[in-house]
Structure 1
Amino acid sequence: MSVVGIDLGNLSTVVAVARRGGIDILVNEVSNRATPTLIAFGPKQRYIGESAKTNEISNYKNTVGSLKRLVGRNYNDPDVLEVEQQYVGAPLVEVDGQVGVKVQYLGEEKTFTASQLLAGYLSKIKQTASAELKTAVSDVVITVPAWYTDIQRRGVLDAAEIAGLNTLRIINDTTAAALGYGIIKTDLPEDEPRRVAIVDVGHSDYSVSICEFKKGQLVVKATAYDRHFGGRDFDKVLVDHFAEEFKSKYKGQVDVKSNPKALVRLTSAVEKLKKVLSANSVAPLNVESIMNDVDVSSQLKREELEALMKPLLARSTAPIEKALSIAGLTKEDIDSVEVIGGCTRVPALKEAIQSYFGKPLSFTLNADEGVARGAAFACAILSPTTRVRDFQVHDVTAYPIKFTWETAADIPDEETELEVFGQNNAVPSTKILTFYRKADFDIEASYAQPELLPGQINPWIGKYSIKGVTPNAQDDFSMVKVKARLNLHGILNIEQAYVVEEKEVEEPIPQPETKEGEEPMEIDESAPKTRIVKKLIKTGDLQVVSSVQAADDSHMLAYKEQELAMTTEDKLVADTEDRKNALEEYIYDIRGKLEEEYAAFASDEEKENLRELLMKTEDWLYDEGYESTKAKYVAKMEDLMRVGGLIRQRYLDAQNEKKEKEMEKERKAREELARRAAGNKKPTQTAQSGEVGTGGRAPPPPPPPADDMNVD
């Protein structure tokens, strides 16, 4: 079973896995360690990740980014219409009560919700991870920004479920990074905590968490953020600058903002320029055929970049100050400042953060992969299949949550509102509320301070109906306990409701303990050994009917079926393209070899027949067969192999026979060398007698003279 952490980024996504005693970053089909967070739609299939990025300019109106910033949002939200539409090629529309897109797919106009789009992307991530790990991927931990609300977190869970993933935890980006930091540290204190500021500036947002570390424990004290401060905002400043420059320089021929594809080209170019300026004092910018067949060029110095970024940099310390204020700490209380996120490579931003704290920044974590590694650790902690060092994680919620209810008829002065989970409340956390009721009643949950929420997200979280309430045996109010919980995902649920009654119960009287060295006390056997006490006893469970901002069962079933159909179609198209490419490759390969390696193994008639068949197949492939089916490509390949395969087999048989003869020749040569070596071997001499061939014994006496010999 896999243990996978997914750092769901706005620009790209990084996937990590816990294995072989450590954390590995998985690569995608083109061996990149990060996959573009894009999904696009075409006439035959979807393009996801790398393929969507490759076709982004040519298929701009059907390409969707900003997936993590669309999920869980309403179409009328100004954050969506005024901000995200700038970064999404496809037109945004309302679908099933949430924001979605309208695209051309399979030759038809289709609409998809943000959760469906994210589900399609997660399906691709799942396939990539499965291919790399050679096993099925199911259990995952997914990271999200700390400012995500209940509906956004539910949207991610829905998307993961549609994609066939079992989400063990939705974890905040900075919390995941902090876990990755703490779990690898072997020098954490056991008493006084080490205070660390985790500063994460990514592609679209900026988050800061103030964390306390002890041995085996992480406590997030506070989190603050700027939802519109990141790499894409720096890019936008540069795009605006060069758009004005080119409009003036090329006398109206180049109005980048009037052409979406030109805007994409320029954005890609300024991303590269920004990276060059991170290490150099000046950088060129060149874009070929940006629009109207015009090539544009310019350059920018680092000081000019910093001047353009000045309004953004002025906001660079605000999230830090807010996080410290919520935590009740000062910058002097911070022991270390860990910075992560691709945008922290901007020298001016690093200098601003370092200047605020007055101490050197720390780069213990990988800027691009630290969050994914932390998510993989979180998954390993929760997975029953992996053993990992015990490490407790205590996170906090960003927004206070209140409950409201109607007054009971017989309790006119009852309070009807209560803040149950305050801002910075621990996550996970459970609270039990007590109500006195004679009949069923409803509770509604909402965010207590709507002004803190992103954009215009509806502060309403859910409605919970408590069913089955009746008067007690005395025809009076029943005491109802309601168990509310902020779970590991940071999502609110009413987990349980039940009735309790105060009853008299008998319990043993605790006996005094005898201390060491003391005489045991004499016990009065006639004294009572039990006592009657009053306790609250649970007498029955109640039904809880929840109505929350998440896709209902019927919609989820439809989304799953649609995702399965689209995934199957994508696979069929990919397999068909593979068979087509294999057929084309075989035609060129066998044609070349027929005139060279295979020439001696085919008759003239066979050659002519094969050449004719190759020509017919090639003509078909580039004409009516250019967009054929997988089955037809397979059939055409089999037709060619029935003829070409015989010739190839003769060639292979001849090669094998030749190889066997060479091996036999080598064997005989080795045997001949061994025989000669044995024949030329000289007798060995002994150290005792110096005689040859006697084995160390004295030689026999010489024969007598011939005259002395008796001859018969």
Structure 2
Amino acid sequence: MILHQIDAVNNHSSHSRAVDFGKLLCEGFTPAIGIDLGIRDSCVGICWHQDKVEIIKNERGYRTTSSIVAFTPIECLTADSAIDQAKTNPANTVDEVQRLIGRRFNDPEVQNLINRCYFKVIKGKYGLPKVVVEYKRKQKEYYAEEISSMHLVHLKKLAESHIGTTVKDAVITVPPYFNDSQRQATKVAAHLAGLDVLQIIDKPVAAAIAYGLHMKTSDVNVLVFDLDYVTFEVSLITTDEKGKLTVKATGGDTFFGGFDLVEIVVDHFVKEFNRIHQMEMDITGNLKARYRLRDGILIAIEDLISDSETTISIDCLYNGIDFSTSITRDKFEYMSKSFFSKCIETLASFLRDAKINKTGVDDIVLVGGWTKLPKLQHLLQEFFNVNELFKSINSTEVVAHGAAIHAANLIREKSEKEKTLPTLSLPDVVPLSLGVDAHDGVFSVIIPRNTPIPSEKEQIYFTTFDNQTSIPFNVYQGERSRAKDNKWLGEFEVAVSPAPKGKSKITVAFSVDANGTLNCKVKELTTGLKKEFIINHDKEKLSHDVIKKMVKDAEKYKMEDQEYIKIMHVRNVLKEYIYNVRRKMKKIGSTNKTRLHAEEIERMETAIEAANEYVDGNQELADVDEYKKVQNQLEKLCVSVIAQLV
């Protein structure tokens, strides 16, 4: 893997003096790590004194660790151990899982990965992608968050082994284009790994922090040029007089990187092999030969960063034939000119889209191992007409470096706040949220978890169909979004006045007394009638361990639960639209209907009925896009028909 070995030797941010963490821990040092959670490689750092950062090596002495998880009949492997068996076990080796995290199965990025990866990805519950592998001789299915958590566990253990104590707090970096779902999913993965996330920050922001750009007291435009093996990201960050770093624009190509450069060189040497030996080397059909040639080229590219010439030598590359050739830096740069051109063209396009002239860029920060290539650095200096680039910190470690500094600052602030807070005896609290399933399977929370007791809170609920005479309620305790995934406590039913849907309403008030007893008070707002229930949930009072497990499960299935809420929302929107269209048709009346063709009326009524059957028939729930598709088709038909009567 490019720059894997030389990173352990040549690193500006490392310190030759060993850190005595034992002494620091005795002095009250609280360890908080910074994690650069990369698509292909990750890096972990710890800031132990002001801006003194130490990058933590893995078991093999490398300063970056592969973000790969593999499954065998015996065990689950991570990092370099997973790489070792990737060639013989590709279907059970999962890489680039960050491309799946927080996305839906039908997301173009997910489909792109599926089309080129060796492991199997299926459409799981609520349209979320699941990875399918064979593990311990059984087929297993995992969400991306679970796979990512396995990798994070490995990184956490590396840090704990290095420091000599348990590590709980971390700052984790993500690409700047990550949306809220992807960031939340990253938090879920960290939680499953036993980490408390102090903050999720953008990779370019972390890189800027590493160089102290957050300390500047003037407005500055910083361009972060990030090129690694599988992605190319360009970001524009601004700093203000208060030191606030803001990502103003992002661009690049998430499916372009050093891999593309390696493939150019691979194709060149396949042709050279064929020319020398006068044969057709079928490199595409021989994965083992391609892997070996690619590995040899990666080592050669590493050499050419510092040397002007190197040799590629591979025993028995193809049909028992050895391959050996020399390559100069000039020749390498010449055969790779299309790659370098694309990098600069993408950069120029990004600046145009961001509406900033290259003369308006004050600083250029290099991130990613492939920015170490001398040719690329020269082209960037030429493009911006500058002599210096920010490259003194190892570009494969700079993001973890900045994340570690930020983690240390956050944990220091947290400790200072705790020192200034008065010591209070905390009152008893509600250990798990209390609420009801009113009608659609969603857990409606009335009293949230950790509410001090005694306490009382209420919610208003409406009827869900015409002339409804009662509303049944099931009471649950837990943290999951779907009611039935929580602990059922009891049920009650409330009579209501018959009326059109949504017109009759009631208030449900929950109160928990000092003894932990749950009281339910109900008021029918049309008649003013009141009713009271006591839900006795002390019979099976949950132990501390069970409560912890339920909270952990809620975190584990957070993405699934969020997707469930989204699906129920679009499903209910569709049901509401069907209801409103039916009412509209009734209001139109038989007189106005004569203005429409019988075929149009029949087509519309058939479509409404089909949509209603679709909603009622999908008890397991379709995904968000499928419900939206049904509604869009129905709207196109109904709007065009009803418009004729307006």
Instruction: Indicate the TM-score class for this superposition, using the shorter chain for normalisation.
Output: 0.5 to 0.7
Does the 8 Å contact 1:70/1:114 carry over to 2? Answer: yes
Give the number of the structure whose alpha-carbon radius of gyration is greater. Answer: 1
1:240 aligns with 2:270: no
CA distance in 2, matches of 1:290, 1:101: 33
For residue 327 of structure 1, report the CA deviation from its aligned partner: 5.5
The answer on 1:297 being equivalent to 2:324 is yes
Answer yes or no: is 1:167 the counterpart of 2:194: no
Q: 1:52 Cα shift?
A: 1.4
Question: 1:201 maps to which residue?
Answer: 227
What SS does the corresponding residue of 2:60 show, helix, strand or coil? coil
Q: CA deviation at 1:119?
A: 1.1
State the shift of 1:48 in Å. 0.7
The code of the aligned residue for 2:404 comes to: A
Aligned residue in 2 for 1:278: 305
Structure of higher RCO (CA pairs closer than 8 Å, 6+ residues apart): 2
Question: Is contact 2:207–2:365 with CA below 8 Å preserved after alignment?
Answer: no
Question: In the TM superposition, what are the counterparts of 1:253-402 in structure 2 within 5 Å?
Answer: 254-290=281-317, 292-321=319-348, 324-325=351-352, 328-362=355-389, 363-384=391-412
Task: Tell me which residue corresponds to 1:586.
Answer: none
Match of 2:67 in 1: 37
Distance apart, 1:293 and its partner CA? 4.0
- Deviations, residues 92-117 of structure 1 (Å, cap 9, x unaligned): 43344333433221122323222221
Who is 1:151 aligned against?
A: 181
| Partner Cα separation in structure 1 for residue 284 and residue 105 of structure 2 | 24
1:370 Cα deviation after fit: 1.0
Q: Residues 321, 221 of structure 1: CA spacing in aligned structure 2 closer, same or farther, 3 A cutoff? A: farther
Is the 1:179–1:218 Cα contact (8 Å) retained in structure 2?
Answer: no
Q: How many residues align?
A: 400
Match of 2:212 among 172, 175, 182: 182
Return the alpha-carbon distance in structure 2 between the equivalents of residues 339 and 109 of structure 1.
42
Distance (whole Å) between structure 2 residues aligned to residue 63 and residue 28 of structure 1: 20
Q: Provide Cα deviations, 1:12-52, integer angstroms capped at 9, x if missing partner.
A: 21101121332211122222221122111111111111211
1:204-223 CA-partner distances (Å, limit 9, x unpaired): 22223333445650332523
Aligned residue runs from structure 1 range 31-70, under 5 A: 31-70=61-100
2:532 is aligned to none
In structure 2, C-alpha distance between the alignment counterparts of 1:62 and 1:141, rounded to whole Å: 30
Change beyond 3 A, Cα 1:74–1:51: same
Instruction: Tell me if structure 2 keeps the 8 A contact 1:194–1:214.
Output: yes
Sort the Cα spacing of 1:556 and 1:245 in 2 relative to 1 into closer, same or farther, 3 A.
farther
Deviation at 1:556, TM superposition (A): 5.3
Instruction: Report the residue type matching 1:39 in the other structure.
Output: V
Deviation at 1:130, TM superposition (A): 1.2
Q: Could you tell me which amino acid in structure 2 is paired with residue 17 of structure 1?
A: I
What is the RMSD of the two structures over their aligned residues, measured on CA atoms? 3.5
CA distance in 1: counterparts of 2:270 and 2:179, whole angstroms = 36
Counterpart residue number, 2:162: 132
| Preserved CA contact (<8 Å) 1:182 1:218 | no
Q: Compared with structure 1, are the counterparts of its residues 67 and 25 closer, same or farther at alpha carbon in structure 2 (3 Å cutoff)?
A: same
- Structure 1 residues 74 and 246, CA gap change in structure 2 (3 angstroms): farther
Look up the SS of the partner of 1:137 in the other structure.
coil
Q: CA–CA distance in 1 between the matches of 2:353 and 2:111?
A: 31
CA contact (8 A) 1:221 1:327 kept: no
| Larger mean Cα displacement after TM superposition, 164-173 or 88-97 | 88-97
Q: 2:250 is matched by which residue type in structure 1? A: A
Partner Cα distance (1:440, 1:268) in 2: 65
Cα separation, 2, equivalents of 1:203 and 1:440: 55
User: What code does the residue aligned with 1:201 have?
Assistant: L
2:150 maps to: 120
For residue 147 of structure 2, what is the amino acid of its counterpart? L
2:236 maps to 210
1:94 aligns with 2:123: yes
Give the 3 Å change call, closer, same or farther, for CA 83–302 of structure 1 in structure 2.
farther
Deviation at residue 384 of structure 1 after TM alignment: 4.8
Q: What amino acid is aligned across from residue 19 of structure 1 in structure 2?
A: W
Point out where structure 2 has 5 or more consecutive residues left out of the alignment: 1-29, 417-459, 464-480, 482-550, 560-646
Which amino acid is 1:59 matched to?
A: N
> Partner of 2:380: helix, strand, or coil?
helix
1:16 partnered with 2:45? yes
For residues 492-532 of structure 1, the C-alpha deviation after alignment (integer angstroms, 9 at most, x for no partner) is: xxxxxxxxxxxxxxxxxxxxxxxxxxxxxxxxxxxxxxxxx
Report the CA distance shift for 1:291/1:52 in structure 2 as closer, same or farther (over 3 A): farther
The residue that corresponds to 1:483 in the other structure is: none
Unpaired runs of at least 5, structure 1: 389-437, 442-461, 463-551, 561-712
2:572 corresponding residue in structure 1: none
Residue type of the alignment partner of 1:13: S
Of stretches 213-222 and 122-131 in structure 1, the one that deviates more from structure 2 is: 213-222
Q: Which amino acid aligns with 1:208?
A: V
TM-score scaled by structure 2?
Answer: 0.56
Preserved contact between residue 380 and residue 387 of structure 1 (Cα < 8 Å): no
